[in-house]
Amino acid sequence: MKHYIIAKYNDSVSDREAVTGAVKALFSSGGSIPGVHGCEIHSNCTDRSNRYDLMIVVDMEKSALEAWDASALHRRWKERFGSLLASKAIFDCE
């Protein structure tokens, strides 16, 4: 399954590239969670106010979703970057 996290930074983020780099560093360890095969981080390539800034794609077994939600990586993502987000959308698909 693919687990998508699509996020828009809030106005407090002045250096989007630096924040995205920190997100990439955090998610580089995604494959260490049982059932999670890896993570990809994509930055938006257009500079428009009505676009989201970041898309995280987590490749995982459907049965790994609970382990993902309970993982230290997921907690660190929310703790470190949650306050920098104006909005986010979560989408899962096969």
Give me the pLDDT at residue 47, please.
85
CA–CA separation, 18 and 32 (whole Å): 24
What pLDDT is recorded for position 28? 85
φ, ψ dihedrals at 5, nearest 5°: -120, 115
Q: What count of Cα atoms within 13 Å lies in the side-chain half-sphere of residue 85? A: 19
Six-digit token string for 5 = 């996290």
Q: In this predicted structure, what is the pLDDT of residue 72?
A: 92
pLDDT tens for 40-52 read: 999 999 989 899 9
Contact 76, 33 (CB under 8 A): no
Query: Tokens representing 84?
Result: 């920098």
Token pair 């106005």 in the structure block, residue = 11
